[in-house]
Chain A
């Protein structure tokens, strides 16, 4: 079993890049995308993420819309929503749309790693559903 493939979609490029690098240091195959469009590009370019981290608030296509979009483009994956404080309502809605889990920003790296591992272990259930 190879590295777990993770795609981070966040308009805050610095955040996404740093998080991707940190995850790489922890043995993940992590890539960053600044929005839904770039995420689609990467997937079309052959990157098949097992876990996608989605920022809830993005200009244009937001996290939940991106989730819907990527479900059509990508092979089965699990999604974890990263929200700001006090957006639990959106998270609950996301859970109903097949989110694996959600985290509140700023995230604790240890917690995130754990969630990614368990998402990867569950093996793209969302995609198949």
Chain B
């Protein structure tokens, strides 16, 4: 049994940990994922809102620039725009409204820049091969991608065509990419990690915090739809970030906003982790603290159950031993009777004959033979008595009568051994519901036990009286007494102290008595002062319900 102890303790520990921590884990994970999806959704919506706002603002800004160029183109004649000084004045007026513009120029239908106002020396440049020039001729108004151009500075061009009788002229203004950067910064927010523009064909149009300066390459994994703002979770150098992308209307640009993991989320994750860990630790400590006592309890319960099973097995064995013993005793009684009669006859004959060799010795030997038969008879009678533990047949029984009968039965033996048996029986004792035969057996065993316990000249006192709701019988002897450590064991089967004596038994007497008393609903206990000063066996039987309430108590 002991080898199971650590296993039990360990598996119990495991089960308890699982029982405690699995729901915790499930709840925490559920909370984690639920909250993450919530936060994610919230952040995506938030970023989308930001993206749309930034897009709207950028489009307004670009529209106003575009509008400035278109108005200039429509508001002045080719002659006015061709005049260098006039053009410089027009630029300064334009710059009052739109500080972003760097320069202003007029390109003739052949693509030659015939007038230029601005910080660079670009008059006379041929743009006939430039993509923006051709696109402007087709679309009438065009906003170009950021490029280096003749000035070798990143910029973009806003151009508007101007149809005349001589052909289609183009009014062109440029804006530095740096201005665009600056503008994007102003519409950014603290929540955003990055805001930048990228062209359809994967060139950064403004500088990005994470992806490099304008004009460097940056390919989006997927292009957004023509309208609206797309939000997706992407990886940025091992970190998951949210990115919104939207086409800027009327431009070849895509506006990109990025934001990292929110502080709300990371704070929640830290808290969840901390709470989970603390709880797990507490549960762990609790479980470790509880598992051992619990394992002990279980083990005790199991041991109790096993001993109960053993006890009932033992009772079963006793019953079958009893039946066997009764059969054997019955069979042996007949030859015993024959032996006794033959021996008796021989003794008679010896007594009658006057002259006979060894007459005295024969008489003595035959006496011994008869005594031995007597002993065998006692044994068979006991075995038969043992076997008579049958079903309880309840009837009204006067305990005093039973005691008197038993004492009457044992009187001769007590007298023979010089033992006095005193009876102090309460005459007013109410009858109990019990089984006479089994009561006889009980008192026979107890008094017999007392007879064995006292020496020659000893005294056995039997007293009956009424206790609260029961009848109480004390059998007191002044014999050897029972040491305290043995007192616990005397009702166990096969426990005996009567070794080597003539009357020593199988060690079944008191265990049978105990079983009988229990079967009749009574209690038996043994008490006594120190070893050597006698023993008291106390038996109580409950009174029937009608009797229990009335009468004197104590």
Q: Which residue numbers of A lie inside 8 Å of B, CB to CB?
A: 12, 14-15, 18-19, 21-22, 25-26, 84-86, 105-107, 109
Contact = CB atoms under 8 A, between A and B. Distances in A.
Contacts of B336: 106
B347 to A, nearest CB: 9
Nearest to A109: B344
B329 interface: yes
A29 B466 CA distance: 56
A26 B344 CA distance: 12
A21 B345 contact: yes
Given A25-B352, A106-B377, A14 B342 contact: yes
Contacts of B97: none
B391 to A, nearest CB: 15
A12 B349 contact: no
B345 A106 contact: no
A115 to B, nearest CB: 16
Contacts of A21: 345, 348
Nearest to A11: B334
24 contacts: A14-B341, A15-B338, A15-B341, A18-B342, A18-B344, A18-B345, A22-B344, A25-B345, A25-B348, A25-B349, A25-B352, A26-B348, A85-B333, A85-B381, A86-B384, A86-B385, A105-B334, A105-B337, A106-B333, A106-B336, A106-B337, A106-B340, A106-B377, A109-B344
Interface residues of B, number: 22
Given A14-B338, A105-B334, 12 more contacts: A12-B334, A15-B341, A19-B341, A22-B341, A22-B344, A22-B348, A25-B348, A84-B330, A84-B333, A85-B329, A86-B384, A86-B385
The 8 closest A-B pairs by CB, nearest first: A18-B341, A106-B337, A106-B340, A15-B338, A14-B338, A18-B345, A25-B348, A85-B384
A106 B371 CA distance: 12
A108 B344 CA distance: 9
Contacts of A19: 341
A18 B349 CA distance: 11
B301 to A, nearest CB: 42
Nearest to A18: B341
B420 interface: no
Interface of B: 329-330, 333-334, 336-338, 340-342, 344-345, 348-349, 352, 373, 377, 380-381, 384-385, 388
Contacts of B377: 106
A64 B337 CA distance: 20
Nearest to B381: A85
Given A22-B344, A106-B373, A15 B334 contact: yes
Q: In the complex, which of the residues A22, A86, A106 has the most CB atoms of chain B within 10 Å of its own CB atom?
A: A106
A113 to B, nearest CB: 11
Contacts of A107: 337
Contacts of B349: 25
Contacts of A85: 329, 333, 380-381, 384
Nearest to A88: B437
B345 A22 contact: yes
A106 B377 CA distance: 8
B442 to A, nearest CB: 17
A118 B334 CA distance: 26
Contacts of A105: 333-334, 337
Contacts of A18: 338, 341-342, 344-345
A84 B330 CA distance: 7
A74 B341 CA distance: 27
Contacts of B388: 86
B375 to A, nearest CB: 12
B337 A12 contact: yes
Contacts of A15: 334, 337-338, 341
Nearest to A13: B338
Q: In the complex, which of the residues B338, B340, B341, B342 has the most CB atoms of chain A within 10 Å of its own CB atom?
A: B341
A22 B381 CA distance: 25
Nearest to B352: A25
Nearest to B373: A106
Contacts of A84: 330, 333-334
Nearest to B387: A86
Contacts of B334: 12, 15, 84, 105
Contacts of A109: 344
Nearest to A21: B345
Contacts of B340: 106
Q: In the complex, which of the residues A12, A85, A105 has the most CB atoms of chain B within 10 Å of its own CB atom?
A: A85
A107 B377 CA distance: 11
Nearest to B330: A84
A58 B550 CA distance: 52
Contacts of B329: 85
A15 to B, nearest CB: 5
A85 B334 CA distance: 11
A86 B377 CA distance: 13
Nearest to B337: A106
A87 B185 CA distance: 119
B283 to A, nearest CB: 66
A119 B344 CA distance: 22
A61 B380 CA distance: 26
B381 to A, nearest CB: 5
Contacts of A14: 338, 341-342
A15 B373 CA distance: 14
B366 to A, nearest CB: 13
A86 B385 CA distance: 8
A111 B336 CA distance: 18
Contacts of B338: 12, 14-15, 18
Contacts of B341: 14-15, 18-19, 22, 106
Contacts of B380: 85
B498 to A, nearest CB: 22
Contacts of A25: 345, 348-349, 352
A127 B483 CA distance: 61
A109 B385 CA distance: 24
